[in-house]
Structure 1
Amino acid sequence: MPRPRRVARVPHSPRRLARDRHGRGLRSPVTGPHLPLLSTRIDEFEMTIAATASYLRGLWPELDGAVFEVSQAPAEAIHDDHVDRWHVFHDERRIVFFRLPIVRFLRLQEGEDKDEKLLIESCVFRAVGELIGRDPWELAPGRYRHF
């Protein structure tokens, strides 16, 4: 019986091996092609800030040119008596929210997503109040009346 000829194998790069394990092809998303992708905690944080900012923009025309940004954490966030959770740039009309200081100091139990969203909203209200020079409770007087 004749022996099969050996074919020279092209060496694979380590990156290709990680994506094409055992010759099965590239990996697909866990949710499949017909379901939406899962949202992460970072996405939820950014969506809460965006929703609160759009709500406040609808109430206050002073916020038309304001920019809301999300950053992980600043380099100079820790001071002697507090930790910065946001920074307001008055001349640029820009607010930068720092996700890690806001979320890490929550001390919530599992499943308390509503409390986390309320804390994020309160940070947005306080930062916007600082930007336009108003008390945060004046920004939306009837918003929390049902609590």
Structure 2
Amino acid sequence: MAKASRGSARRSARAGWRDRHGRGIRASVTGPRLPRLHTRADIFESTVASTAEYLRDLWPAELSNVHFEIAALPAADAGSRRVRRWLVLPAEHRIILFRLPIERLARLHRNDDLHRRMLVESCVFRAVAELLGKDPWDLAPERFRHF
């Protein structure tokens, strides 16, 4: 009867912590010493959060208990040919922003970080304006007066 080689015993002892095919657990793409990459979803989420915080500072009484949520896609609506960008639920004090329709269906004249951020901010402004029953330009009038 053949003896088990020392290497096979070592492999079986480590099999509990190793990934499939014996390659080990996967590491971060950027490595251990570099910061993680920012994905489009992370950037979208931070833009929504900072815009919501800005609007909460301007309208504390009206937006104190409003929850901002992010979903990938809206539920299918058979009666409509339009794709929703956001959903406002006033009874539940919720605003749901749909990331993929906002990002993918936009027709930006310049596709860079600044214009993508402005697109997301404008969607948050329009959703909050719909919730409050106001014009989006009335939410932060001092922000747009540069004279």
Q: TM-score range by the shorter chain?
A: 0.7 to 0.9
Q: Which amino acid is 2:82 matched to?
A: H
Indicate the residue corresponding to 1:88 in structure 2: 88
Paired amino acid for 2:57: G
| Structure 1 vs Structure 2 CA RMSD | 2.6
**Helix, strand or coil at the partner of 2:91:** coil
CA contact (8 A) 1:68 1:95 kept: yes
| 1:75 and 2:75 correspond | yes
Amino acid at match of 1:144: F
More helix by share: 2
- Please state whether the residue corresponding to 1:142 is helix, strand or coil: helix
**Paired-residue identity, %:** 50
Match of 1:16 in 2: 19
Q: Which residues of structure 2 form unaligned runs of 5+?
A: none
Matched to 1:121, the amino acid is: E
Partners of 1:97 and 1:90 lie apart in 2 by 14
- Normalised to the residue count of structure 1, the TM-score between the two structures is 0.80
Residue 74 of structure 2 contacts residue 98 of structure 2 at CA under 8 Å; is this kept in 1? yes
Seen in structure 2, the aligned counterparts of structure 1 residues 84 and 78 have a Cα distance that, compared at 3 Å, is: farther
Contact 1:88 1:94 in 2 (8 A): yes
- Give the 4+ runs in structure 1 shifted more than 6 A: none
* Matching residue's letter, 1:16: D
Aligned-partner Cα distance in 1 for 2:74–2:116: 21
Check conservation: 1:77, 1:84, Cα contact below 8 A. Answer: no
Count of aligned pairs between the two proteins: 137
The Cα of 1:77 is off from its aligned counterpart by: 5.2
Aligned to 1:31: 30
1:88–1:130 Cα contact (<8 Å) kept: yes
Query: 1:140 aligns to what?
Result: 140
Instruction: Report SS of the residue matched to 2:144.
Output: coil
Provide the secondary structure at the position in 1 that maps to 2:142: coil
Tell me the residue number matched to 2:99: 99
Q: How far is the alpha carbon of 1:17 from its aligned partner? A: 1.9
